Structure 1
Amino acid sequence: MKYMTTAEIREKYLSFFEEKGCKRMPSSSLIPDDPSLLLTSAGMVQFKPYFLHVKEFDPAYIGSTTVQKCVRTNDIDIIGTTGRHLSFFEMLGNFSFGKYFKDEMCAWAYEFATEVLELPKEKLYFTVFENDDETIEIWKKLGVSEDHISRLGEDDNFWRAGPTGPCGPCSEIYFDQGPDFGCGSPDCAPGCDCDRFLEFWNCVFTQYDGQEDGTLAPLPTKNIDTGMGLERMAAIMQGVQSNYETDVMRDLISVGERLSGKSYKENAESDLSLRIIADHSRSVTFMIADGILPSNEGRGYVLRRLLRRAVMHAHKLGIEGAFLSNYVDAIVRLMGHVYPEVVDNRELVERVILSEEERFGVTLRQGQAYLADALEKLEGTVLDGATAFTLHDTYGFPVEITEEICADANITVDKEGFEACMDQQRERARAATKDDAEAAWSTYGGIHDDLLKELGATGFVGYDRLTATAEVKAVVKDGKRVESLAQGEEGEVVLGLTPFYAEMGGEVGDTGTIEAEGIKLQVVDTKAPAKGLVVHSVKVVEGSVHAGDTVRAIVDELRRKRITRNHTCTHLLHAALREVLGDHVKQAGSYVGPDRLRFDFTHFEGMTAEQISEVERVANNVIMQALPMNIYETSLDEARESGVTGLFGEKYGDVVRVVEAGEFSRELCGGCHVANTAEIGFVKIVSESSVGANVRRIEAVTSFDALDYMNKVESELKEAAAQLKVSMFDVSERTAANLEAIKVFEAEQKQAKKAAAEGSVAEYLESMVDVGYPLVIARIDGLDSGALRNTWDIMRSRMPKPGACVIGTVNDGKPVIMAAGTDEAVAAGFNAGALIKEIASNIKGGGGGKPTMAQAGGKDAEGMDAALDAARAHFNL
C-alpha cells in the first residue's frame, strides 16, 4: 500500500469510474435544490430527480461520478473531539439509474480498492444485509473469503428514505486498522463500536419501493448510490490515525500553529482548538463561496455559529484580531483547482469573514458584559444553565469559557441545566429541518411531483412569443386532480406547452388569459412548484375547462414588457454596482415585478449618495447606448471559462442560457429580457438599505414608472418651493437656512426656560420643609422630562443640605410626577420609587424607578393636585 495524497485519491476515483462509462459531473452547491435540506450533506442530493425518473439521465453514459462538497453540523459539539467527525467533508460517489447494479458495482469497488489503491486484500472486510445472499455470493466470486464477510441487520445494512419510498440493502467495505485500534474483544468485527474496523465505502442497492403495509415492491429500475469519504480514505492511504492528520487538514492545522505559536500534539486542549479552527475554516470558506451569508436563521445561522466557534477557539490559543483570511489563503491553494468557486469568490469570502470577525468582537464584549451583570446579580455560587446557554447560543461563548470566567469568581456552572437547554435546541433543529440524505427524499410524491413524473416538463415558448395553442394536460383543485373547473371556480391548469413564464429567479410569474370557444380563464399567477412543471393559477370567468381541451394561452403583453425592462435592468445594476463598489459585489436575491425591481447584493457598509448617483449614471449610460441584447445557450464549462457571472443559489444544468448586454454585462439567466437596452428608458434608484449582515438592498423603477416617480418628486419640490417662496432649485438652501434659524430659536427658548426655572426655583424653595432632610413638594406646569430633571438639579444645588423633591407638571395636557433625592436623603428614609407607586394612581398612571429617582406619567391631569397632596400626607405634612 503506497502513500497517496488527497488530490491523487480524488482524481483516481473520478477517472476510474469515468473510464467505466460514468459521466464526471461537478459538485453541486452547498445550497441544495431541495426545501427539505438546509445544506447539501450527501453526494446523492443532486441526483434525486434521476433516481425517481422525474428527469432522464444522459443516455450516452451508464451513470455519474462526482466528488461532492458536504456540510453536516448535526454533531457540531463533537467535531474536533474525535478523529472522524468533520463539519466539511468531500464525498466520492458513483450513481446508476438503472444501467448497472450489484455485479458491476461490487466488482468495480473491489477492483478500485485492491488494484488502484492497492489496499491489502487481507485487510478488507465486507458487511451485507442479513438476507442478501446474492451480494455475499458476488463478493465470494470476486475472491473475498467467507470469514471476511459479515451479515448485519436492517439498522446497519438496509437503507431507507423513510417509512415508505425508495429503499434497498447496502454493502459496506471496512479496512482493518489492526488490534491496536480495537476493543480487545474476541468477538470484535465490522460493526463494532471500536475503531479497529474503519468503514470507508457504502454501496447502496436501491431496488425497492417501501409500501405503507411494510411490503417491498420492486422499483421500475435497480439503482446504485455509493459514497466514499475522501478524508477517511486519505487517512488510510497516508497511514495516519485521524482525518486531521491527512495532508490537507494537517496543512490547515499548521496555519494555526504559525499564528498561535502552539505545536500540534503537545497539549490536548490546544490540539482541540487547532482541529476545530482547521475544520470550521473550510466550512465557512465554502459556504460563503456558494452564496451563504451570516445571519440569525437557517444556513446563515449555521455559518455564523461555525465562524464564531472558530474565533472563540482562536482566542483560547492566544490568536488576537482578524485571522481567518490566513486559512482562506491555504484553502484556495489546497483546493481551488478542484473547486473554482473559492478562487472566483475569494475577495467576497475574505470581506465577509473580516466583517463578521469585527462584528463578533463587539458581540463578545456584549457577552462579557452580560455575564458580568449575571454574576453581579447572582445569589449563591452556581450560575444557572439557561444563562450559560444564552451566552453560548446568542453571544457565541463556549460553555468552557463561561466556566473559566466563573471559576475565577469561585462560581460553578449548572452543566445539567445547560445540557438540557442544548437538548431542547437540538430537538428544535431536528424538527425544523431534515439534514441528512435519507430525509431528503421526503419532499417528493406530492400532486405536482406526480404530474411531473406523468406528464414530463412543460414546454416553454414564451421567450419568442406571447400566445400559443396548447392542450390542457391536467386540472387541479384544492391540491387534487379533477376532470374540470366550472365558471366561478379557482384552481390550477397544466398545459402541454405555454408562453407563460413561471415565477423563478426573482422574476414574478406571468398573468393573462387561457381561452377557447365558450371558455375564458383568467390566469392570476404562474409558478413551477415541481422543477420543469409550469402550473397556471386560474379563475374560470366563462364556461368550464376540462382535461384534453385545446386552448389558446395569451400572456398579458404590457405587463410582460414592464417585467422584462426591470429584469434586464437588474443585470445592468449588478454590473454597475461591481464597477462602482468592487468585484466583491454579488447578487444575494432579487424581485422583478412589473412596477418595480429590488436587488440585494453583498456589501459591507451603506452606500453614499455619491455612489448611488454614480451607479445610476453608469447604468443609464448603458441604457442610452441602445445596446442590443445577445441571448444564447452554451455549455456551463464554456460559460465559466468565458467569465460569465453565475448567481448565488442558482442551479445550472450542462446547457446554460447566457444574457449579454454588449460587453458591459454577461450573466447566466433563464428569465425574460428586452431586445435592446434602450427599451428600459431609464432607471431611477429610489432607496438603499440594509437587509442583514453584509447584505444591502437597492430598489428602483424604470421606464414609465421611473417617469411617474420623477414627476411626483418634481411636484413635491415645486409645492415646497411655493411655500418657501423660492425657486425650485433654491429649496435646499432655503430649508437649510430655516433649520438653522429654528435651531437658534430653540436654543434661545431653552435658555429662557432655564432662566425662568432658576427664578421659579427660588420661589419653591421658600416652601421647603425639613423632614429629617430638606424636602420640596411643588407643581410647576409646562415642563418636559429634561426640564424636570434640570429643575431638580437646580434645587439640589441650592438646598442648605442634601435633600429631596416631589415635582408635578402638566405639559400639553399630560401629567407627569417626578420624585428625586440625594443618597443622604435615601439613607434617611426617602424612597422615590416607592413614593411614586403610592401616589401615581391619582393621575391614573403608573411608574417607578430607583430610590434616588422615579417618574410616572398618567392620563388624568385633574388629579395632579390630589397626587401632590398624597405626597404631603406621606410625609405627614
Structure 2
Amino acid sequence: MSTADYKTMTTAQIREDFLSFFESKGCKLYPSSSLVPDDPSLLLTNAGMNQFKEYYQGIKTMAEIGACSCQKCLRTNDIDNIGDATHLSFFEMLGNFSFGGYSKADAIAWAYDFITNPDHLGLPPERLYMTVFEDDDEAIELWHEQGVPYDHISRLGADDNFWAAGPTGPCGPCSEIYFDQGEEFGCGKPTCGPGCDDCNRFLEFWNLVFTQYDRQEDGSMPELPHRNIDTGMGLERIAAIMQHKSTNYDGDLLQSLIGVGVRLSGHAYGDNPSADRSLRIVADHARAVTFMIGDGILPSNEGRGYVLRRLLRRAVYHGRLLGIEGAFLSEYIGEVVRLMGDTYPEIQENRALIEGIVHAEEERFISTLDAGEKNLLDELHALEAGAQLSGEVAFRLHDTYGFPIDLTREICATSGHEVDMDAFNREMEAQRERARANANRDAWGAANDVWVALSDSYPATEFCGYDTNELDGAKVLALVSDSQVVDGASVGEEVSVVLDRTPFYAEMGGQVGDTGVLEGIGGAFKIEVRDTKLHAGGIVAHEGVVVQGTVGPGALCVAAIDVHRRELIRRNHTATHLLDAALKRVLGEHISQAGSLVAPDRLRFDFTHFEAVTAAELAEIEKLVNEEIFAAEPIVTQIMGIEEAKASGAVALFGEKYGDVVRVVSTGESDMPFSRELCGGTHAHSTAELGLFKIISESSVGSNARRIEAVTSEGALAYISERLTLLDEVATRLKCRPEDAPARVDALHDQARTAEKKLHEALTGANSGGIEEALASAIKLADYDCVVVRRDGLDAKGLREVWDAIRDKATGPIACVLATKTPEGKVALLAAADNKAVDAGFAAGKLIKELAGYVGGRGGGRPNMAQAGGANAQGIDEALAAARSALTQDC
C-alpha cells in the first residue's frame, strides 16, 4: 500500500483547517480552556468537552448550532506507559460539539467530508474503517450513505463503542474512525481488523460520541431531551497520519522536541530503544510542564502541583539517563514556545516565569538525585543478581531524600531488579497512620487548650479599633496566666486579659499586635500591654504585666492603644498593599502574596517569583509606590459581599478563607484604583501619611519565593539618615568629599586589580617559573606526561589558563590534574589533556568524578576536559594524591 497516495500537512495546518471547517458549518470557535478546570471534580483538563459540561447538563444554552475547539489536555493515569509509541501526557484534542443544534447524521457527514475531501485532509476512502456500537444500526446506515462499504464498518461492544458519564446519567453509542497503515503493520491473523489488540495496522484517530440516552438506576435508558454530539480527534495522531508516519512521536512537533534531546545528548533517534524511550519521555514531559506552568500551576507536593513536579523530575531523570548534565529543560521550553506560542500565547507571555521555575526545580532535584541515586546504587550493588530491593529501602529513599518511587523502580529495572512494592506500600500506609494519630493527638491537644475552653464560654471579642484608639468601660471577662484561668493578678505578674470589646488589633494577616495600656476605673489597676494575640473562637488576649494594683474578672477599664505606634503600623500596612500592586505591574500578574510582616519600624513582603528582582525593577517598583504616596490618594474602606468584592477586582490572598461579608481597602475612589484588596487590617487615611517608601533589601525565601523589606515615614527617614552618616564616615576614611567617594573607591579598585593581575600572571603565565616547575614535576607515564599540581588563589578560569600555559610549553603529549583553593575558600578542580594523551587512555571526565568526592563536590565533562567544584578545601591534597595513584596504577 503506497504512502504517497494522499497529501502531507503540518500540525498547524491541520489545526487551522479543522477549526475553519467547523466554523463554516455554523459552529462557534471556542479557545482552549485552561489546564486548570472550573470543574472541581477534575484535577486537570483531560478532554475537549470539559469546558462544555454545563451545556451538556442543560444549565447553559448555546445560540449557535454547535461548537468547535482545539483543547490542550493532560492525562497522567498511565504515566508508566508514556514514552512508548502511543501514550502522551500532554496532547491537543480537536473536537466539534452539539447540544441539540445539529444531528448525528450531520456529525457523520461532516466528519467523512473533512477526512476525505481533497480540500481538507483528503485521506483515501479505501484506507478508512469505521466501528460502531453493536446495536447502532442507525450509525451503520449513516456511514454507508456517505459511501463507506459495509465491509469497512464493524460492530464492537460497549467496552469500545459506548460512552457513559457514570453508572447513571448521560450516555450513548460511539463511532470510531480508523486508518489502515498497511499490511506491514498487521499481525497477519484472519481476524485482524479495527480494534485488534495484537497489532498497530488499524490506527484509531477520531471518536464520535452520540450522547442520546439518560441511563436510570433500573438500567433503562430513555432518550435525553436533546441529543448531544461530542467528538475528539487527537491532533498528534492525525498529524502523524498526515505526515505519513506511524506513531504520535513521529509528527513534526514532537520530532522537533525530540531533536532537542538528540542535540543535547548526542544520541541519534532510532539507534537505541532505551535511549529512544528517554528522548520521547523528555520531549513529552517538557511540553506538559511548559503548558502547566503557563496556566498557573506551580510545583508542590500535592494536587496539580505534584503532577507537575512528578513530570518535571521524571524528565530530568531521563535526561540524566541520556547523559545530559545539569539543568537543561529551558532548551525544550524555548522550542515549545517557538512551535506553539503563536497558538497558545500564554506560554509566550509567561516564558520567563516558566523557565525560571523549571530551572529552580531542576537544580533542587539534581541535588536530590545525586544523594538518592548514590544511596540506591549502593543498595543495588549489595544485592544478588535478580534479587528484589526491599520495600523498606525504597521507602527510606522516598522519605529521607524525596526520591520518587517510580524513579526507584526505573533505576532498579535497568539493573535487573524489582522493588518489593507490597512492603513499600505497607510502609507508606504506616506513615499515613502515624500522621493520622498525630493529627488526632493535635486535635485533642487543641480541645484541651485554655483558649478553646474560653471560646465556649465567651463570644468573640468585639474589635472597635477601626474608629477609635481608646475605649472607656471595657469589661474584663477572664485572666490567663501560665496557660491557666486565674482569679486575679497583682503587681509584677504577667497576665493575658480577655475583654468584651477592644481597640487593640490582635496580630493577624501579617500585622503585629497593638501595645498600650489597660487602666482600671479610678486607678484600681494598670496593665502595660506588650502584645495582642488572637486565639480560638476570635478571643483576643491582651498580653502584659501588672504595674499597679490588682485586677480580676468583672473589672471595668479604659483600653488605650499606643497611638503613635499604631500610626506607624497603619502606614506600613498600606505600603504593603501599594507594594503588592506595584509588583504585579512591574513583574507580572503571577505575583501572589506568600506572607508578610507589618511592624511599626518596617514591613516585610513575601511573594511568588522565580528569580531575583533586578535593581532596575526594584527602582521602578519603588517609583510607582512613591508616586501613589505623593498623589495623596484617600484610603477607602467598603464593606460588601464576597462575590461583589471579587467582581470589583479586589485581590484576595491565596489560600485565605473569607466570610460572606468582607472589608475591601482601595487606594483612591476611582473605579480603577491602583490597589484594591480584601483586608481586615488597619490602614492610613491617605497615602500621603506614608511620607516616603524605601526598599532596603530583596532576597530569596525558598522555592520560587522572594522577600522585599522596606520602610516608610519615620523608618524611611531613619534609614536615609543612617546611610548618609555611613557615607560621611566612608568619605572621611577615604580622605575625600562624600560626592567623590565612588571615584576614590574606583581608583583603589583599579590599583588592587592591577596587583591581582600581576600575581595571576605569575601563577599562570607560560613564561612563569611556576609552569617550568610544574612540567619538571610531571608524572612520566607510558605515552604521555601528566602534571598534577596545586595553585591556590585562582578560580576555575585561572586553572584553565594554567592548563593552556602547560599545553603550550609542553614538548610532547601532555595531560594535567590541577587544583586550587579559590579566594572565596572554595575548591576548583580541572583535568585536561591534549588529543594524544586522550588517545593514550587519559579520561578527564571519569577521573574528575572520582576526585570530586574528596573536596565535597561533584563534576564531570569530556575525556579531554572536565571540571569539578567543592567546599572542602582540606581535601585538595588527598584528591591530588588519589589522582597520582590512579594514573600510576593505570600505567
Q: CA deviation at 1:665?
A: 8.7
For 1:237, the equivalent position in structure 2 comes to 242
Q: Distance in 2 between matches of 1:28 and 1:680?
A: 40
Query: Pick from 34, 38, 41: which aligns with 1:36?
Result: 41
The superposition leaves residues 364-406 of structure 1 with CA deviations (integer Å, 9 ceiling, x where unpaired) of 123135436757998997531443366479324724664389x
Q: CA deviation at 1:36?
A: 1.4
SS of the equivalent of 1:73 reads: coil
Query: Pick from 127, 138, 151: which aligns with 1:134?
Result: 138
Please tell me whether residue 118 in structure 1 is matched to residue 122 in structure 2: yes
Q: Distance in 2 between matches of 1:285 and 1:648?
A: 22
Q: Distance in 2 between matches of 1:210 and 1:699?
A: 60
Paired residues of 2:85 and 2:249 also in contact (CA < 8 A) = yes
Q: Distance in 1 between matches of 2:193 and 2:667?
A: 60
For 1:211, the equivalent position in structure 2 comes to 216
Paired residues of 1:3 and 1:237 also in contact (CA < 8 A) = yes
Q: CA deviation at 1:626?
A: 5.4
Q: CA deviation at 1:350?
A: 0.8
Please tell me whether residue 188 in structure 1 is matched to residue 192 in structure 2: yes
- Aligned pairs for 1:257-406 (under 5 A) are 257-371=262-376, 382-388=388-394, 391=397, 394-396=402-404, 398-399=407-408, 402-403=411-412
For 2:26, the equivalent position in structure 1 comes to 21
Q: Distance in 2 between matches of 1:243 and 1:667?
A: 48
Q: Distance in 2 between matches of 1:70 and 1:102?
A: 25
Paired residues of 2:697 and 2:708 also in contact (CA < 8 A) = yes
- Aligned pairs for 1:433-448 (under 5 A) are none
Q: 1:16 to 1:609 in 2, by over 3 A?
A: closer
The superposition leaves residues 771-806 of structure 1 with CA deviations (integer Å, 9 ceiling, x where unpaired) of xxxxxxxxxxxxxxxxxxxxxxxxxxxxxxxxxxxx
Q: 1:665 to 1:231 in 2, by over 3 A?
A: farther
Paired residues of 1:624 and 1:681 also in contact (CA < 8 A) = yes
Q: How many aligned positions are there?
A: 539
SS of the equivalent of 2:323 reads: coil
Unpaired runs of at least 5, structure 1: 430-505, 507-564, 630-644, 650-658, 718-727, 734-877
Paired residues of 1:347 and 1:584 also in contact (CA < 8 A) = no
Q: CA deviation at 1:682?
A: 6.7
Q: CA deviation at 1:56?
A: 2.6
Q: 1:53 to 1:364 in 2, by over 3 A?
A: same
Paired residues of 1:43 and 1:92 also in contact (CA < 8 A) = yes
Paired residues of 1:566 and 1:680 also in contact (CA < 8 A) = no
Please tell me whether residue 622 in structure 1 is matched to residue 628 in structure 2: yes
For 2:88, the equivalent position in structure 1 comes to 86
SS of the equivalent of 1:77 reads: helix
Identity of aligned residues (%): 57
Q: Distance in 2 between matches of 1:201 and 1:268?
A: 29
SS of the equivalent of 2:114 reads: helix
Please tell me whether residue 149 in structure 1 is matched to residue 158 in structure 2: no
User: Structure 2 counterpart of 1:141, which letter?
Assistant: E
Please tell me whether residue 693 in structure 1 is matched to residue 697 in structure 2: no
209-218 or 102-111, which deviates more: 209-218
* TM-score normalised by length of structure 2: 0.53
For 1:108, the equivalent position in structure 2 comes to 110
Q: 1:619 to 1:268 in 2, by over 3 A?
A: same
Paired residues of 2:169 and 2:216 also in contact (CA < 8 A) = yes
Q: Distance in 1 between matches of 2:23 and 2:82?
A: 33
Paired residues of 2:390 and 2:423 also in contact (CA < 8 A) = no
The superposition leaves residues 822-850 of structure 1 with CA deviations (integer Å, 9 ceiling, x where unpaired) of xxxxxxxxxxxxxxxxxxxxxxxxxxxxx
Q: Distance in 2 between matches of 1:224 and 1:646?
A: 39
Q: 1:573 to 1:682 in 2, by over 3 A?
A: farther
* TM-score normalised by length of structure 1: 0.54
For 2:169, the equivalent position in structure 1 comes to 165
Q: Distance in 1 between matches of 2:675 and 2:158?
A: 45
Q: Distance in 2 between matches of 1:126 and 1:662?
A: 64
For 1:3, the equivalent position in structure 2 comes to 8
- Aligned pairs for 1:70-81 (under 5 A) are 70-80=73-83
Q: 1:373 to 1:64 in 2, by over 3 A?
A: same
Q: Distance in 1 between matches of 2:654 and 2:30?
A: 19
For 2:787, the equivalent position in structure 1 comes to none
Paired residues of 1:96 and 1:224 also in contact (CA < 8 A) = yes
- Aligned pairs for 1:772-811 (under 5 A) are none
Paired residues of 1:94 and 1:227 also in contact (CA < 8 A) = yes
Q: 1:53 to 1:262 in 2, by over 3 A?
A: same
Q: CA deviation at 1:200?
A: 0.7
User: Structure 2 counterpart of 1:387, which letter?
Assistant: V
Q: Distance in 2 between matches of 1:349 and 1:26?
A: 21
For 2:493, the equivalent position in structure 1 comes to none
For 1:474, the equivalent position in structure 2 comes to none
Q: CA deviation at 1:695?
A: 3.6
User: Structure 1 counterpart of 2:110, which letter?
Assistant: W
Q: CA deviation at 1:145?
A: 1.1
Paired residues of 1:571 and 1:667 also in contact (CA < 8 A) = no
290-299 or 682-691, which deviates more: 682-691
User: Structure 1 counterpart of 2:704, which letter?
Assistant: N
Paired residues of 1:575 and 1:665 also in contact (CA < 8 A) = no
Q: 1:185 to 1:359 in 2, by over 3 A?
A: same
The superposition leaves residues 667-713 of structure 1 with CA deviations (integer Å, 9 ceiling, x where unpaired) of 9999999xxx9867778999999887314578999xxxx99xx99x9
Q: CA deviation at 1:124?
A: 1.0
The superposition leaves residues 298-342 of structure 1 with CA deviations (integer Å, 9 ceiling, x where unpaired) of 111111111111111111111111111111111111111100011
Q: Distance in 2 between matches of 1:668 and 1:131?
A: 62
Q: Distance in 1 between matches of 2:676 and 2:112?
A: 43
SS of the equivalent of 2:70 reads: strand
SS of the equivalent of 2:237 reads: helix
The superposition leaves residues 135-184 of structure 1 with CA deviations (integer Å, 9 ceiling, x where unpaired) of 22111111111111111111111111101111111111111112221222
For 2:583, the equivalent position in structure 1 comes to 577
The superposition leaves residues 444-498 of structure 1 with CA deviations (integer Å, 9 ceiling, x where unpaired) of xxxxxxxxxxxxxxxxxxxxxxxxxxxxxxxxxxxxxxxxxxxxxxxxxxxxxxx
User: Structure 2 counterpart of 1:247, which letter?
Assistant: D
- Aligned pairs for 1:272-671 (under 5 A) are 272-371=277-376, 382-388=388-394, 391=397, 394-396=402-404, 398-399=407-408, 402-403=411-412, 413-415=417-419, 417-418=420-421, 421=424, 572-577=578-583, 583=587, 586-588=590-592, 601-604=607-610, 615=621, 618-625=624-631
Q: 1:161 to 1:192 in 2, by over 3 A?
A: same
Q: CA deviation at 1:13?
A: 0.3
Q: Distance in 2 between matches of 1:687 and 1:216?
A: 67
